[in-house]
Amino acid sequence: MPYLLDKSPIEFRSRPLLFIDLEFTGLDPQKHEIIEIAALLVTQPDFNIANSFYTKIIPQHLESADPRAMKKNFYDPKSWSDAISLRQAMQELSQFAPDCLLAGWAVQNEWDFLNVALEKENLPYFYHHHLIEVSTLAFVKLYPDSQVKYLNLNRVCKKLNIPLDHHKPDSDIRATYDIFKHLSGL
């Protein structure tokens, strides 16, 4: 498997942004699994959405799943009847957004799980090693506002009047993108 930092250099303004939200069977990437992916491919320099990606993934180790995570993610085997394998999901995602910059609310979690998934499937990294953390942008921009007491996706959406159906990855990622656009002014 190629080393992440060996990817050929591409000027950051030329890379597409992949706003991504994953749902997991728990919070430990060494123990838990990705079960759902929602992503928006965003072009530069206009920062418009070029395409969207959504899939559910067949969990292989439900015995190690955290019941709290499964409840938050609304996991139901019937709802996952059209789910695909992790390998297929990683291949499709890498074809969807080659050489992208990952962006998300707390995208470090996605980064950690994606790294483990790609290594497990012996697939190359399709993203650059720099991340765009929208939660950091929200911290910087909303810090002066004393009415903002908690910095989480739900509360920031309420503050900015951005619709959100929380813990549904397609809604979460759309809201994250909207927060990015609103707070960055791009």
| Residue-wise pLDDT tens digits, 50-105 | 999 999 999 999 999 999 999 998 999 999 999 999 999 999 999 999 999 999 99
Tell me: the pLDDT tens digits for 9-62?
778 888 999 999 999 999 999 999 999 999 999 999 999 999 999 999 999 999
pLDDT of the residue at 151: 93
In this prediction, residue 59 carries a pLDDT of 97
Which DSSP string do the residues of the chain spell out, in sequence order? ---GGGSPP--GGGSPEEEEEEEESSS-TTT--EEEEEEEEE-TTT--EEEEEEEEB--S-GGG--HHHHHHTT--GGGGTT-B-HHHHHHHHHHHSTTEEEEETTHHHHHHHHHHHHHHTT----EEEEEEEHHHHHHHHHTT-TT----SHHHHHHHHT----TT-HHHHHHHHHHHHHHHH--
Task: Locate the domains of the chain by residue range.
Answer: 15-184
Q: Does domain 15-184 have CATH number 3.30.420.10?
A: yes
- What is the pLDDT, as a whole number, of residue 164? 96
Residue 167 has pLDDT above 80, yes or no: no
Answer whether residue 1 shows pLDDT above 60.
Answer: no
For residue 10, the model assigns a pLDDT of 79
- How much is the pLDDT for 11? 84
Band the pLDDT of 129: cuts 50, 70, 90: confident
- Determine the pLDDT at residue 6: 67
